[in-house]
Amino acid sequence: MKRPSILVLGAGYGGLTTVVNLQKVLGTDAADITLINKNEYHYESTWLHEAAAGTLRPEQVRYDIKDVIDSVKTKFVQATVQAIDVQNKKVTTDNGVFTYDYLVIGLGFEGETFGITGLDKYALSIANVKAARYIREHIEFQFANWSTEAVKDDSRLTIVVGGAGFTGIEFLGELANRVPELCKEFDVPREKVRVICVEAAPMVLPGFDPELVSYAVGQLEAKGIEFSIGTPVVEATPEGVNIKKGEDKFEFIKAGTVVWAAGVRGSKLIEESGIENMRARVKVDKDLRAPGFHDVFIVGDCALMINEETNRPYPPTAQIAMQQGETIAKNINELIKGGETVEFVPDLKGTVCSLGDDDAIGVVFGKKVTGKRASFMKKMIDNRALYMVGGPSLVMKKGKFNVL
């Protein structure tokens, strides 16, 4: 009998965890596993704010997929997925067409611009490792230009960060530490540089613990970060952004760099796949299958799950993506054996938000943490994610050990 084929799209947290666990749970020769990813490497999306600010080299954020998968059990194909046809069980890529018996879609997130004019064109998004490297180089280019131009344009040294969610705040934390280094490197007086965070909601990190939010804002302000709260960005232009400050009141902020960190959506390929979705995220069944498609699983940021306690979607996080990967591997194994799938139940351990390399805020197992202790925990969480995919050798190669 022909072995069933399992096709996994995307080697992010969700896709890689699915593959690593499939390798563990499937019996010898039980199935053919193929993993498709755009790059030959995985990147840690949760570290992208560091690569974007320039506090971590882009090479440190990524590792080769071949180093963490078992090439006997899994065939890796470097390819960009172009279309997913779930009716005909076919995936088209720039490196061939693939069929499957079981499909796992883990193509991750894209920046959400909510249709705001100019953002697609003039703002930069921390969406992947190449985009992060571009942001770093763009900021350095602005500093280099300012220091050499005869007539100085100070707006080159203004950086607007749109959105004070976790991505925006973590990026600001890195920038706060990076700006003094950039000033030194490019001979720029610190007072010439402005870093402004623009948030639409009435508070930073909407919904997070107010005491921790106040700590974070205080720490960032002390390092020169400005906040404009309750003032949504309504337009981006080549010169900067327009923000709404009241009923009919607007303010234009001239800026050489605009980084958009105001939310995410799933991969646009989901919208084109014929699977029912909301902002490119599929409201999955309890066992993580796409409704109506018994052979299609969705993992990570492309999946939407409602928390029944709050009646709101779970936030798209690496923590959940990795746990989903484990459940999907178990469920595919059960289906192959003719068994029953199990329900996915997230096990949320908490949230830690870094404020640079040396500071953080968080709630872990229900307890609030700040400062160096929180920063230490964040690094341990980062190292744990490496361990779960690549074991101790990956932690030794890529782990964070600069514990203060």
Catalytic sites, residue numbers: 170
Instruction: Tally Cβ neighbours within 10 Å of residue 57.
Output: 12
Q: Which is nearer to ligand NAD, 88 or 402 (CB)?
A: 402
Q: Is 145 exposed, middle or buried (0-12, 13-18, 19+ CB in 10 A)?
A: middle
Buried b (16+ CB within 10 A) or exposed e, 217-254: bebbeebebebbeebbbebbeeebbbbbeeeeeeeebe
Contact between 141 and 54 under an 8 Å Cβ cutoff? The reply is no
User: Strands across the sheet with 233-237, in order?
Assistant: 233-237, 240-246, 249-254
- Tokens of residue 393, six digits: 């050798």
Site string for ligand NAD, 221-240 (x = CB under 6 A): -----------xx-------
DSSP string, 229-259: ES--EEEEETTEEEEEEETTEEEEEE-SEEE
Residue 317 interacts with ligand NAD (CB under 6 A)? yes
Q: Token pair of 372, please?
A: 């160096």
Residues 224, 315, 346, 399: which binds ligand NAD (CB under 6 A)? 315
Q: Quickly list H helices, 224-370.
A: 268-271, 318-337
Tell me which stretch binds ligand NAD (CB under 6 A): 16-24, 84-92, 167-175, 270-278. Answer: 167-175
Could you tell me which stretch among 93-101, 130-138, 197-205, 383-391 binds ligand NAD (CB under 6 A)? Answer: 197-205
- Residue 200's binding partner among ligand NAD, ligand FAD, none (Cβ under 5 to 8 angstroms by kind) is ligand NAD
Q: Which does 162 bind (CB under 5 to 8 A by kind): ligand NAD, ligand FAD, none?
A: ligand NAD
CA distances from 287 to 24, 42, 295, 310, 327 (A): 19, 26, 11, 20, 8
CB under 5 to 8 A by kind: which of ligand FAD, ligand NAD, none does 13 bind? ligand FAD
Is 297 within 8 Å of 103 (Cβ atoms)?
yes
Yes or no: say if 111 and 260 are a contact pair by the CB < 8 Å rule. yes
CB of 115 to ligand NAD, least distance (A): 10
Q: Using CA atoms, how far apart are residues 25 and 329, in angstroms rounded to an integer?
A: 7
**Do the Cβ atoms of 253 and 198 come closer than 8 Å?**
yes
Q: Which of 198, 213, 253, 270 binds ligand NAD (CB under 6 A)?
A: 198
Strand arrangement, sheet containing 296-298: 74-78, 32-37, 5-9, 102-105, 296-298
The partner residues of 62 in beta bridges, in order of sequence, read: 43
Shortest separation between residue 278's beta carbon and ligand FAD, angstroms: 16
Q: Which one of 123, 217, 262, 280 is in contact with ligand NAD (CB under 6 A)?
A: 262
Instruction: With CB under 6 A as the rule, give the number of residues binding ligand NAD.
Output: 26
Choosing among ligand FAD, ligand NAD, none, which partner's interface includes residue 10 (Cβ < 5 to 8 Å by kind)? ligand FAD
Using CB atoms, what's the residue nearest to ligand FAD? 12
> Closest approach of Cβ 144 to ligand NAD, in Å?
29
β-pairing verdict for 62-64 and 41-43 = antiparallel
Query: Interface mask (CB under 6 A) for ligand NAD, residues 136-165, using x and -?
Result: --------------------------xxxx
- The answer to whether residue 256 forms part of the interface with ligand NAD (CB under 6 A) is no
- Does 353 sit near ligand NAD (CB under 6 A)? yes
39 binds, among ligand FAD, ligand NAD, none (CB under 5 to 8 A by kind): ligand FAD
Indicate which of ligand FAD, ligand NAD, none lies near residue 277 (CB less than 5 to 8 Å, by partner kind): none
Task: Kindly list the residues in this chain that would bind ligand FAD in the complex (CB under 6 A).
Answer: 10-15, 36-39, 42, 45-46, 48-49, 80-81, 106-109, 126, 167, 170, 267, 269, 300-301, 316-319, 321
Residues that bind ligand NAD (CB under 6 A): 116, 162-168, 170, 198-201, 206, 232-233, 261-264, 315-317, 351-353
